[in-house]
Amino acid sequence: MVRYFPNSNDQILLPVHLGFWPENPDTGGVVSTRAFSARLPVVCRQIHSKQPFGMFRGENAMNYAFSTFLLEAVIIIFFIKITCFLLRPLRQPRIVCEIIGGMMVGPSMLGGSRNFNYYVFPPISNYICANLGLMGFFYFFFITAAKTDVASVAKSPRKHKYIAAIGVVIPAFCVGVTGMAMRHRMNKNMRKISSIGAIAFGLSFSSFPVIYTILRDMNLVNSEVGKFAMSVALLGDMAAILVLTFFEAMMHGDVGGAMAIVWYLVSVVIFSGFMLLLVVRGALEWVVSHTPEGKLVDQNYIMILMGVLVACFLTDMLGLSIGVGPIWLGLVVPHGPPLGSTLAIRSETFIHEFLMPFSFGLVGLNTNVYLLTSDIWEQELSPLVYMVIVGFITKFIAVVAAAVFFKVPTRDSLTLGLMMNLRGQIDMLLYLHWIDKRIVGLAGFTVLVLQSLVITGISTPLISFLYDPNRPYRISKHRTIQHTPPSTEMGLVLAVSDHEALSGLITFLDLANPTSSSPFSIYAIQLVELMGRASPVFIEEKDVEEGEEEDHHERIRSRRVDQVQSAFKLYQENRNECVTLHAYTAHAPKRLMYQDICELALVKKTAFILLPYQQERLDDAAPTELRNSGMLSVNADVLAHTPCSVCIYYDKGRLKNAVFRSLDDVQQHSTSLSRVRDKNVPFCCFVLGRS
């Protein structure tokens, strides 16, 4: 089927934004054939073809929507990747590269060429990119919300809650006052109280998913200030859901009156209360309860990913913001293993590497710097620009002042203020939502995108300059085995990632022969890779014994973690007179595990760190086949940043399947430790670091 243009006496109804521009349009949304310019190229595309096309048959692949879409996908992903490569020396996070890559295909750069716009990004395939871009945003929100531990909000220190409140209320008030003062210069949609309030709070909140994503790119997730920033942002997000829901209800009231507000709130209660908390939460807990311990969830996760689309449909049908559904659905998903880790492992790569480029392509297609003219500035942009500037300055000052008041170091306070102003994916969708609600136009959207790009692009290098997570480990005082006085207690950090390294490590400790006159103070830390959750977790085992039993078992569902902790306790019972043991569990990304080890050694003032030269068997049936477990990189990072001596222990006996397979093996090994010194035990020990 081929599209034919009508005769000169007929009219064709086409929206102007589809790419067909008349020279003198009579009306805003209709294009007449009499006004159509013959000088502009027109592409007619076949909707159905009986035979496959090909260049050897004289056909152009760009005449087909799907072929054009494939080329668009390649171009968008290519521009984002090349931008990431070029900006890598400037230490820019991925979000900055993605925004710039999206703008490259938009009207601000290549999209400004009419030939490029007609043939490469024509309207017939743009809707595919736009829909995939929205799906990318939705799945990003869902997978990030699924990693979020909402229960940690109640456990946040009071200092974090005060800083979060001050960092939102003060800038929101200042931005709101600025908007009201310049209300006479706004258009009729922006000057509404609901619109000014939505902009004020939208510019004041810090998004937890955005801050987590950028800090992950900067390797600051496990740092002290990084944890501080994510905790404060999460507290703000919980308040943002309520506040933005309130202003959304006010927008409905501006159109439909009081009853529109009532029905909107009823829709919120139906979706959040009944659908999510009663139905979805119960179904997800059933999936978790029927998953074997230590295993990933089966193919049931596919239904959960389909549930994201269902949540989007329901929120849109009920009159809610379509982006609310994935966020709320993700928050009710049990974070961590097995469900959260399954979703992260099997969907994150596809979401970040394929869907999200279309999301920023959508942002770029709506960003047009050529709309920022002096006329638009006077009529619409000046109030918005002043509100943006006031919001950034007041939020930075408020967060820094509050942090200094609570005795946070000045350098860390400045870093925290910059982190709280980072902008990213959630802000982009919020700006698109404001276009949909006609709060801002395309020119206002361009200003908001550019301010997000500039603020984030400038803040991230400043954060890297102001804050170095490894600075505390550079101490001048000697803390090594050599400088430890004789006949005194020696502190050591013992790091282990799984139960298979316990046999060699405990044997080594026994060969070190701690006595009552030269006792050991051992700080044993169990390292667990962070999967299915966003925030790192550091657990001291005595806290578990004091009433956090339920939360602890939520965090360590794996049997191997229980075995490690049991082995630590049994070893202490057998050496109670000469060994004091403190057990910890650290959930962190593998590339940042060294920070927990070095920080523990620094705080406890230990003399050395004991690490296994760790490898894993490919299969229990073939114990001699080994592969690197990834812990070798952790050992190298510890050596590079250690505040004390480092001892790397290589256990040759692991080739003979010398592992703990049950708690009985642990107890049997612990009771026979006294006979180890009477035997010839081959081992190799490397003492490195400051020694």
Distance CA 276, CA 273 (A): 6
Q: Which residues pair with 520 in a beta bridge?
A: 490, 579
Q: For residue 157, which phi and psi values (nearest 5 degrees)? A: -60, 155
Q: Which residues pair with 215 in a beta bridge?
A: none
| Residues whose CB falls within 8 Å of the CB of residue 191, separated by 6 or more in sequence, listed in order | 183, 184
Question: What is the domain partition of the chain in residue ranges?
Answer: 1-52, 94-118+141-466, 487-689
Q: For residue 145, which phi and psi values (nearest 5 degrees)? A: -65, -35
Instruction: Provide the pLDDT confidence category of residue 499 given band limits of 50, 70 and 90.
Output: low
Q: Helix H segments across 318-439?
A: 324-332, 339-350, 356-365, 374-376, 382-405, 410-419, 425-436
| 232 pLDDT above the threshold of 50 | yes
Contact between residue 221 and residue 153 where contact means Cβ atoms under 8 Å apart: no
Task: Map 208-238 to HEC letters.
Answer: HHHHHHHHHHCCCCCCHHHHHHHHHHHHHHH
Distance CA 299, CA 306 (A): 12
Which DSSP helix (H) or strand (E) runs through 249? Answer: helix 224-256
542-560 residue pLDDT tens: 644 444 444 444 444 444 5
3-state class percentages of the chain: helix first, strand second, coil last, to nearest 5: 60, 10, 30
147-160 residue pLDDT tens: 887 777 777 788 88
The β-bridge relationship of strands 608-612 and 490-496 is: parallel
Length of the chain: 691
pLDDT for the residue 664: 46
pLDDT for the residue 123: 72
Instruction: Provide the pLDDT confidence category of residue 198 given band limits of 50, 70 and 90.
Output: confident
Least confident of 154-158, 188-192, 676-680: 676-680
Between CA 394 and CA 401, with CA 397 as vertex, the angle to 5 degrees is: 140
Give the homologous superfamily in CATH for domain 487-689. HUPs (3.40.50.620)
The β-bridge relationship of strands 684-689 and 622-628 is: unpaired
pTM, entire model: 0.78
Instruction: Provide the pLDDT confidence category of residue 672 given band limits of 50, 70 and 90.
Output: very low
Instruction: Provide the pLDDT confidence category of residue 83 given band limits of 50, 70 and 90.
Output: very high
| 174 pLDDT above the threshold of 70 | yes
pLDDT for the residue 687: 56
247-282 residue pLDDT tens: 777 777 767 677 777 777 777 777 777 666 667 777
| 26 pLDDT above the threshold of 50 | no
446-482 residue pLDDT tens: 999 999 999 999 999 999 888 887 776 666 566 677 7
Instruction: Name the residue among 531, 555, 93, 609 with its Cα closest to residue 346.
Output: 531
CA distances from 149 to 40, 142, 234, 312, 532 (A): 55, 13, 9, 22, 10
Q: Provide the b/e sequence for 50-89 (b: ≥16 CB within 10 Å).
A: eeeeeeeeeeeebbbbeebbeebbebbbebbeebbeebee
Contact between residue 38 and residue 20 where contact means Cβ atoms under 8 Å apart: no
Q: Is the CATH number of domain 94-118+141-466 3.40.50.300?
A: no
Distance CA 76, CA 417 (A): 33
The fraction of the chain above a pLDDT of 90, given in percent, is 12
Full DSSP string of 477-542: S--SSTTSPTTS-EEEEEEESSGGGHHHHHHHHHHT---SSS-EEEEEEEEEE--S-SS-EEEEHH
Distance CA 282, CA 523 (A): 39
Structure tokens belonging to residue 353: 């590497």
Mean pLDDT of the chain: 75
311-358 residue pLDDT tens: 888 888 777 777 788 888 888 887 767 777 777 777 888 888 899 999
Question: If you search the block for the tokens 């939102």, which residue do you land on?
Answer: 168
Least confident of 122-126, 331-335, 477-481, 605-609: 477-481
pLDDT for the residue 301: 65
Contact between residue 195 and residue 189 where contact means Cβ atoms under 8 Å apart: yes
Instruction: Provide the pLDDT confidence category of residue 655 given band limits of 50, 70 and 90.
Output: very low
Task: Map 272-315 to HEC letters.
Answer: HHHHHHHHHHHHHHHHHHCCCCCCCCCCCHHHHHHHHHHHHHHH
Torsion angle of C-alpha atoms 7, 13, 19, 21, degrees rounded to 10? 70
Contact between residue 524 and residue 586 where contact means Cβ atoms under 8 Å apart: no
